Amino acid sequence: MKQVHLRMEDELYHELMDCSDMAGQTLQDCVREAVIYYISARKKNKKTKQEGQFTFIDLFAGIGGMRIGFERAGGQCVYSSEWNKYSQQTYFANFGEQPEGDITQVAASDIPEHDILVAGFPCQPFSIAGVSKKNSLGRATGFEDKTQGTLFFDVCRILKKKRPKAFLLENVKNLCSHDKGRTFQVIRESLNELDYEVFYEVLDGQNYVPQHRERILLVGFDRRRYGKDIVFEFKLTPKTPRPVMKDILDRDVDGKYTLSDKLWLYLQNYAAKHKAAGNGFGYGIAAPDGISRTISARYYKDGSEILIAQEGKNPRRLTPRECARLQGFPDTFKIPVSDTQAYKQFGNSVVVPLIENVAELMVEKIKDYHKPFAEYVKEREEMQNGY
Measure Cα distances from 111 to 138, 155, 217, 220 in Å: 36, 12, 23, 19
59 bridge partner residues: 119
Q: Are 146 and 193 in contact (CB under 8 A)?
A: no
Q: Which long-range contacts (CB under 8 A, 24 or more apart) does 308-313 make?
A: 308/245, 308/249, 309/285, 310/258, 313/258
Residues 6 or more apart whose Cβ sits within 8 Å of residue 236? 203, 207, 354, 357, 358, 361
Q: Which of 19, 30, 77, 123 is catalytic?
A: 123
Give the separation between CA 224 and CA 245, rounded to whole angstroms.
Answer: 45
Q: Are 296 and 172 in contact (CB under 8 A)?
A: no
First to last CA, the chain: 58
Question: Is 77 tagged catalytic?
Answer: no
Give the separation between CA 89 and CA 66, rounded to whole angstroms.
Answer: 17
Residues annotated as catalytic (active site), given as ranges: 123
